[in-house]
Amino acid sequence: MKYSVNDGFPYYIECAGDQNYMDLFLSKENMKLLHSINEEKSTYRYAPGKWSIKQILGHITDHERIMIYRILRFSKKDPTLLPGYDQNVFMENSRFDELPYKQLLADFENVRNASISFIHTLSSEQLKLTGKAWIFEMTVEDFLKATIGHEVHHIEIIKERYLA
């Protein structure tokens, strides 16, 4: 890969690869994998200080909420520079490990369904609009690719480090 996780959005766009981002949003493959994990396994951490599967799922959900909010603003030609967010602050102030895994899955599915519904409202002209979040100025379409690429990245980590 040309980018690393430290490069942010360009890395996540690369994670989405050549696949159509809408096909990735609509795919049930990752959801099926997440549903195969039980409550006990969802608390697993592959090393001290690493997030549990529950925390990763909560993070993916939070990230998608934030990105779709950004995309909403950019698709409406809102020129406001939107700040980044500190994933560690979010994690330190979350309750993911306290919540039932099934509740976290349902929340993720609800966010995903809302995201898909919103994406279907975007015109080809809106997909070409640009916005700036933190240091990245990109098109709405690239923000969508980065959003789903972020999920792809974390699902690969779950497969390689948590379920191997």
Q: Architecture of 5-162 per CATH?
A: Up-down Bundle (1.20)
SS3 category, 130: strand
Token pair in block for residue 138 = 């990109």
Threshold 0.85, pTM exceeds: yes
What's the pLDDT tens digit per position in 12-56?
Answer: 999 999 999 999 999 999 999 999 999 999 999 999 999 999 999
How much is the pLDDT for 121? 98
How much is the pLDDT for 1? 86
The residue among 1 and 119 whose pLDDT is bigger is 119
Burial 39-55 (b: 16+ CB within 10 A, else e): eeebeebeeeeebbbbb
SS3 category, 82: strand
Helical (H) or strand (E) element with 44: none
Distance of CA 18 to the CA centre of its chain: 18
Q: What is the mean pLDDT of residues 73-80?
A: 96
